[in-house]
Structure 1
Amino acid sequence: MTGDPELKTMVERVAWMSPIDYFILEFYDDCDIQASPKVVAANIDYDRQYAGKRLKALTKEDLLQQEENGLYSLTDRGRAFLSGELGAENLEH
């Protein structure tokens, strides 16, 4: 799954986001589950440590949330971004 992400819904590119970030968001949108960095990395074919780092970055921007059990899930803000309801200008630093 590595390479240039081809999202189901075309979203605007955000300057600070890495290609993996789009794969992560799509994974959570497609699966609608809570998942660990290890599970995410295995499903999108990226290194677990790098996936974990990017999960934290997406959580900081409120696109994902980390549950008390250490698992991550997609937030409403993350869903709004993927659906095009939340533009890239709202995610720029």
Structure 2
Amino acid sequence: MTPMDRDILERLQNPGNKELVLSPRLIAENTDWGRDAVRDHVLRLREHGLIEYYDEEGGIYQLSDRGRMWLEGELPTEELED
């Protein structure tokens, strides 16, 4: 997990508010990370089950239960490694 991965998960979590559903482009627009890099990390986060499609055709993602568990410290990072 990298700082970008955490930023992406936290952006979807939207602490203190309702969780968001976003495309990689919108995640990039609302963070300090570039669009291509965000897209690559989103794909990896989905492979690890931390985010999932909200709308596959539209390329829109949401936080998964596993992603919530990781953010809450209930899922060790070691369990995510390849």
**TM-score, shorter chain, exceeding 0.5:** yes
Aligned-residue offset at 1:26: 0.6
TM-score, normalised to structure 1, is: 0.77
Larger fraction in strand: 2
The aligned runs of 1:5-44 (5 Å cut-off) are: 17-30=1-14, 32-44=19-31
**Any residues of structure 2 matched to 1:12-91 within 5 Å, and which?**
17-30=1-14, 32-66=19-53, 67-68=55-56, 69-91=58-80
TM-score, normalised to structure 2, is: 0.86
Structure 1 gaps of 5+ residues are 1-16
RMSD: 1.2
Percentage identity across paired residues of the two chains: 38
Deviates more, 1:61-70 or 1:37-46: 61-70
Distance 2:59 2:2 in 1: 22
Structure 2: runs of 5 or more not aligned: none
